[in-house]
Structure 1
Amino acid sequence: MPYKHNASRRHHIGKMMYKVTNWAEYEAGLRRRGSLTLWMTPEALAGWTAPRRKTRGGQPLYYDLAIETTLMLGMVFGLRLRQSEGLLSSVLALMGLDLPVPDHTTLSRRARTWMPTVERRAAPDAPLHVLVDSTGLKIYGTGQWLEEKHGTKSRRGWRKLHLAVDADSGEIIAHSLTDQETGDTSQLKPLLDQIDDEIGKFTADGAYDGYPTYDAVFHHSAGARVIIPPRSNAVEPPTAQACCQRDDHITSMQKECRLKWQASTGYGKRALVETAMGRCKGIIGPRLRARSFLAQQTGAAIGVTILNRMLACGRPKSVRCQASAGATK
């Protein structure tokens, strides 16, 4: 992070080196990520068909777990709904299971009416260190090239995926999908409402700067420590506020430089949420395939579930080594 402030002298700064200490465990976890048995669990097979309803109305054939399993398989392997249906049919045939497979029409319809929930692997032993940020996801359509090339105004734009990540475990513990016009701070309360555990530290970038953000975090956890860089023109209010942490950040930056403030507060941890977003776009993809907004929200939730399950297979433990010597003169 400090390198961008030393661009002219970057070739004199040694590159940080890291070493993975659990390479054997991490390599085995990477292989497990491609195993089909990871997704076809006994619980999914036992709860495949929906229980018979006793009220009036149509009888559902598939339980939510069957829909989730089919959509997960398609998203992991980058398949459309019809190809996901064919893949699951072949997998069940190879396993010798006589189970019905949801067709693509059922998958498309049920994706608009069902929302999976993000579950944590285990309760934390200490208060959480929550990292929050947002990223843009493309929508299925003509894209920006047509608009930039021919000046055509496309109705399709972007969706914003808001994530809350546990800094210690790397899990995504809360998420929300909105349109491109929604501000980041407006989604802070919905994200915090999804977190049941106590928050010990909250870190975000300057887009979340403001007293409403501090009030929302303190309403969730009164003793939380908020680390958000104030704007460059931020000043202390003339009247005393209920929260003085933001004032302390402003005073600290006025006395010292921004880089010293980042080092003293541990603001560099925020890079982990950027890593989670890169992992999301690298594994799931930078584009939402569904056309309706409700189905896009379901797809985003399934993508978060997939990332957390892949993270459970194995996570590298890195330690910092000595910086590489000698840059070019």
Structure 2
Amino acid sequence: MLSDLHAPQPRRSRKRRNPRLGKLTTTEEGNTALVGLLLDQSPHEISTVTPDGEYGGDPVYQAVAERAPDAAMVISPRAMVVLSATAETASTQRDRHIQTIAENRHLGWQKAVGYGKRSLIEMAMLRYKALISRSFHSRTLPTQKTEAKLACKVINITTGIGMPVS
């Protein structure tokens, strides 16, 4: 039947492998389910977490709070976000961010929390991907780490050559 051919198809659920963890996640889960595992890999104390907007939900805030309660979360809340039920009694970082945006608008919040550093990080990653590659050529994690260190060294040298001395 012709109508069956043109019926809306359900969205495919693909599994993606997170290269850092070697874990599979579905499209619906996304990488937010793996934030806790990524944080567990850090040998250093975590002071600030600055991911993009995909990670702006409660699961990420909870994962960071469990592993680093004093860490500053710098995540831009989504447009239609609302305060939590406990905002009046036990305000969370996420609630405070939402309140700051309501009082000072989005640009005021960005200045208050240092959100501009995120764009510097994004520019560094853009440079890395443009100059070196979007993916690793090595197959094992130790050689990928070496490859990343060498790539960063190359970028630092080339950036140093082109930067004016002031």
Q: TM (normalized to structure 1)? A: 0.37
The DSSP-based 3-state class of the residue aligned with 1:238 is: coil
Counterpart amino acid of 1:223? D
d(CA) in 2 for partners of 1:270, 1:303: 24
Deviation of 1:302 after TM superposition, in Å, equals 4.5
Which residue of the partner structure matches residue 59 of structure 1?
A: none
Deviation of 1:226 after TM superposition, in Å, equals 0.9
Deviation of 1:313 after TM superposition, in Å, equals 5.8
Instruction: Pick the aligned partner of 1:305 from 144, 149, 166.
Output: 149
Counterpart amino acid of 1:220? R
Change (3 A) 1:194 1:251: same
Number of aligned positions between the proteins: 146
d(CA) in 1 for partners of 2:82, 2:38: 28
Which residue of the partner structure matches residue 282 of structure 1?
A: 130
Deviation of 1:276 after TM superposition, in Å, equals 3.0
Deviation of 1:176 after TM superposition, in Å, equals 5.1
Change (3 A) 1:160 1:261: farther
Counterpart amino acid of 2:150? I
Q: TM (normalized to structure 2)? A: 0.66
CA RMSD of aligned residues (A): 3.6
Which residue of the partner structure matches residue 245 of structure 1?
A: 93
Deviation of 1:281 after TM superposition, in Å, equals 1.4
Deviations 1:22-50 (A, max 9, x none): xxxxxxxxxxxxxxxxxxxxxxxxxxxxx
The DSSP-based 3-state class of the residue aligned with 1:257 is: helix
- 1:192 maps to 2:39: yes
d(CA) in 2 for partners of 1:303, 1:176: 18
The DSSP-based 3-state class of the residue aligned with 2:38 is: helix
Counterpart amino acid of 1:282? A
d(CA) in 2 for partners of 1:207, 1:194: 21
Segments of 5+ residues of structure 2 without an aligned counterpart are 1-13
Q: 1:192-211 alignment to 2 at 5 Å?
A: 192-211=39-58
Instruction: Pick the aligned partner of 2:117 from 264, 269, 293.
Output: 269
Deviation of 1:307 after TM superposition, in Å, equals 2.8
Counterpart amino acid of 1:258? H
- 1:236 maps to 2:80: no
Larger relative contact order (Cα-Cα within 8 Å, sequence gap ≥ 6): 1
Counterpart amino acid of 1:257? R
Question: Does the aligned pair in 1 maintain the 2:128–2:152 contact within 8 Å?
Answer: no
Question: Does the aligned pair in 2 maintain the 1:230–1:249 contact within 8 Å?
Answer: yes
Deviation of 1:244 after TM superposition, in Å, equals 0.8
The DSSP-based 3-state class of the residue aligned with 2:43 is: coil
Deviation of 1:233 after TM superposition, in Å, equals 0.6
Which residue of the partner structure matches residue 259 of structure 1?
A: 107
d(CA) in 1 for partners of 2:98, 2:122: 25
d(CA) in 2 for partners of 1:221, 1:287: 30
More strand by share: 1
Counterpart amino acid of 1:208? Y
d(CA) in 2 for partners of 1:198, 1:233: 32
Question: Does the aligned pair in 1 maintain the 2:128–2:155 contact within 8 Å?
Answer: no
